């Protein structure tokens, strides 16, 4: 019965070719965006986040500060900040100049130290508060990667395996972080989430204006 519920929800979430065609036909985007969207849908998975957040996502060509511009020149106010990656603004000139300068010296080389990496770690150690000790940095590539590192560090250094997380929280797309993500839609797509014994406990988020128990705000 439990598995059948996930199968039913997974079927409801699955995008059919007919639904994709309907979305393309009804989109308010311009002709260039529609053309690029058709090409995109031919070559990328339909399980991408764009089709979950939008009926059909905009095809963004450029951005500056908090304004995104699609291939037809339509402007949007960026309220996502690239999942917080662009918190200082898109194409921030001060940042892009540093990136361009660094790209002429070293772009990437495995997980080995280099001067700019060391200086960044020193800066992070200065600003991260650590009670009764000194911080050290473990770099990650993505948000999911960072959460995985946090799980391992917390369990290793505390010796406590159990983790609490609120229903509806989002923590990432790897299997480890998905075990902390209490979102039925994500679980429906990928259930079962291994391993089953994750030492993870879920609790309702304490938000009185949308009380999970249906009680009015007090």
The token duo for 53 is 């957040």
pLDDT digits (tens, 9 = 90+) for 34-69: 999 999 999 988 877 778 778 889 999 999 999 999
pLDDT band at 215 (very low <50, low <70, confident <90, very high): confident
Provide the pLDDT confidence category of residue 198 given band limits of 50, 70 and 90. Answer: low
Which residue reads 């609490």 in tokens?
Answer: 164
Q: How far is CA 53 from the centre of its chain?
A: 12
Measure the N-to-C terminal CA separation of the chain; round to a whole number of Å. 37
User: What CA–CA distance (Å, rounded) separates 64 from 112?
Assistant: 33
Distance CA 190, CA 71 (A): 33
- Where helices occur in the chain by DSSP H, the ranges are 2-13, 17-26, 31-43, 50-53, 93-103, 115-127, 143-158, 175-178, 184-190
- Tell me the C-alpha distance between 63 and 191, whole Å: 37
Instruction: Give the pLDDT band of residue 124 (cuts 50, 70, 90).
Output: very high
Report the alpha-carbon distance of residue 145 to residue 27 in Å, rounded: 34
Q: Is 179 helix (H, G, I), strand (E, B) or coil?
A: coil
Reduce the DSSP state of residue 67 to 3 states and report it.
strand
pLDDT > 90 fraction of the chain, expressed in percent and rounded: 40
CA distance 27 to 34: 8
* Model pLDDT, residue 197: 55
Structure tokens at 151: 């799980």
Q: Where are the domains of the chain?
A: 1-57, 161-218
Contact, 53 vs 47, CB < 8 A?
A: no
pLDDT for residue 210: 80
- The average pLDDT across 117-137 equals 88
């Amino acid at each position: 019965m439990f598995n059948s519920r996930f199968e039913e929800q997974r079927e409801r979430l699955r995008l059919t070719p007919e639904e994709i065609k309907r979305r393309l036909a009804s989109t308010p985007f311009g002709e260039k965006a529609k053309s690029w969207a058709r090409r995109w849908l031919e070559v990328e998975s339909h399980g991408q986040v764009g089709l979950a957040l939008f009926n059909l996502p905009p095809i963004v060509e450029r951005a500056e500060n908090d304004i995104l511009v699609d291939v037809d020149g339509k402007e949007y106010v960026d309220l996502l900040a690239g999942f917080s990656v662009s918190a200082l603004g898109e194409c921030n000139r001060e940042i892009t100049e540093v990136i361009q300068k660094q790209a002429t010296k070293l772009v990437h080389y495995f997980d080995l130290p280099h001067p700019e990496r060391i200086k960044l770690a020193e800066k992070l150690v200065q600003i991260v508060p650590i009670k009764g000790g000194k911080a050290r940095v473990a770099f990650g590539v993505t948000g999911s990667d960072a959460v995985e590192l946090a799980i391992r560090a917390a369990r290793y250094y505390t010796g406590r395996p159990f983790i609490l997380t609120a229903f509806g929280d989002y923590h990432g797309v790897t299997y480890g972080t998905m075990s902390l993500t209490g979102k039925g839609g994500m679980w429906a797509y990928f259930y079962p989430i291994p391993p089953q014994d994750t030492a993870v406990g879920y609790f309702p988020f304490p938000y009185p204006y949308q009380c999970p128990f249906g009680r009015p705000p007090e």
